[in-house]
Amino acid sequence: MRLKLDANENPIPLPKEAREGLTERLASTELSRYPDGEAWELRRALARYAGVDIRQVLVGNGGDEVIFMACHAFALGGRVAVVGPTFEMYEDAARSLGAEVFTVQLDGDFLFEPGEVIAARPDLVFICRPNNPTGNLYPPQLVLECLRSGAVVFVDEAYIEFSLDAGMSRFLASEERLMIGRTMSKAFGLAGVRLGYVLAPEELVRRLERVRQPYNVGCLAQAAGLFMLENLPLVESMARRIRAWRQDLYRGLQAIDGIEAYPSETNFILFRPLACDPDLLWRALRDKGVLIRRYPGHQVLRKYLRVSVGTPEENALFLKTLGEILGGVGDKDSCGRAKDTGDGSQGQALS
Ligand code: PMP
């Protein structure tokens, strides 16, 4: 595969100097000892980064583990509401732990009605902000209203560094059932390392601690996370560049006839081919070495595709390949689209 734009990874390689610094740090880690089970140094650095108390931070083996821990601690065999379409892991984790899952559907503007969340009488609510895969940020008020359900509300901020929003950690002091999930896989560029964390009021962290395995984050992961937190200007510059590249990619997608692209506050863009089958388009791209994300069989998302923001060179190659496929010669282009016909569905989002 020439281009991998399917998993919302950070496309920027670590600069040589940082890579050497990190290698040195990892080399001096004592591998024969168990890691610090409390991950004190890493949690202290995360607390400073997020502007919260260290007792309000818990770390996990990727954001995925943190999601599982939340389901285990707050919804084992219970009721979980998920605002979506969204990241599938919430539903998968909840179901695997015996919970009943209710999906509160997004409307055509990718927004939702908090009353529907409250009506589901959940123990735990998952809200992804900004949302994967729609890319938008819900107004904080929508999230705060969900807290009236009495449930623990898990706000997933995996992509928050790519938006200009400060996130919802400022509400932790006043909202005792608010929990924020984050990851170092995206803006921090550590997807392979597996590091995620939770910011939550102390009482919720204590409850998560009861289901956390003692050494859930290894010493190499702790060292790598700490290293990146000591190099925040590097992280900030990566996020800034990716934001700028996202805007170029968005404009490039919009300029292609037959594509509707949706604005994004993340490092990916959701788009909809208006007059051709998304699955055929996905295959045509794959056959040319370009991997993006499709949603075959999904009730709502099957009409959409999602592309991660790559480097400018990668984005240009993706746009060129997409343009070539959609502009194919003959009565039909190479993704099965009859020339000059539309299906009249332009402009309908998530319907
Ligand atoms: N939350 C969201 C919304 C995601 O999209 C992802 C990964 N794509 C994660 C959490 C988990 O990330 P990780 O396990 O790599 O930390």
3-state DSSP assignment of residue 34: coil
Number of other residues whose CB lies within 10 A of the CB of residue 348: 12
Strand duo 290-291 + 124-128: pairing? unpaired
Closest residue by CA, ligand 1 atom 12 = 63
The sign one gets for the Cα dihedral 278, 281, 286, 291 is negative
Residue numbers in the chain where pLDDT is lower than 50: 329-331, 339-349, 351
Integer Cα distance of 145 and 177 in angstroms: 12
> What pLDDT does 117 receive?
98
Query: In degrees rounded to 5, what are phi and psi of residue 152?
Result: -75, 130
Q: How far is the CA of 64 from the centre of ligand 1 (A)?
A: 6
Q: How far is the CA of 185 from the centre of ligand 1 (A)?
A: 7
> What pLDDT does 280 receive?
96
> What pLDDT does 341 receive?
41
> What pLDDT does 2 receive?
86
Residue type, 233: P
Structural domains of the chain ordered from first start: 3-9+234-337 (3.90.1150.10), 16-230 (3.40.640.10)
Integer Cα distance of 288 and 295 in angstroms: 19
Q: How far is the CA of 231 from the centre of ligand 1 (A)?
A: 22
> What pLDDT does 337 receive?
54
DSSP 332: B
Integer Cα distance of 255 and 251 in angstroms: 6
Please give the number of the atom of ligand 1 that sits closest to the Cα of 196: 16
Closest residue by CA, ligand 1 atom 11 = 63
Query: In degrees rounded to 5, what are phi and psi of residue 270?
Result: -90, 135
pLDDT tens for 242-287 read: 999 999 999 999 999 999 999 999 999 999 999 899 999 999 999 9
Q: How far is the CA of 180 from the centre of ligand 1 (A)?
A: 13
Q: How far is the CA of 219 from the centre of ligand 1 (A)?
A: 21
> What pLDDT does 351 receive?
40
> What pLDDT does 263 receive?
98
Ligand 1 pocket: which of 64, 160, 182 to mutate (most atoms within 8 A of CB): 64
Alpha carbon 128 to its chain's center: 8
Q: How far is the CA of 89 from the centre of ligand 1 (A)?
A: 8
Query: In degrees rounded to 5, what are phi and psi of residue 127?
Result: -130, 125
Q: How far is the CA of 10 from the centre of ligand 1 (A)?
A: 12
Closest residue by CA, ligand 1 atom 2 = 158
Closest residue by CA, ligand 1 atom 10 = 63
> What pLDDT does 336 receive?
55
> What pLDDT does 57 receive?
98
Ligand 1 first shell, C-beta below 6 A: 8, 62-64, 87, 128, 132, 156, 158, 183, 185, 191, 196
Integer Cα distance of 304 and 261 in angstroms: 10
Integer Cα distance of 348 and 260 in angstroms: 10
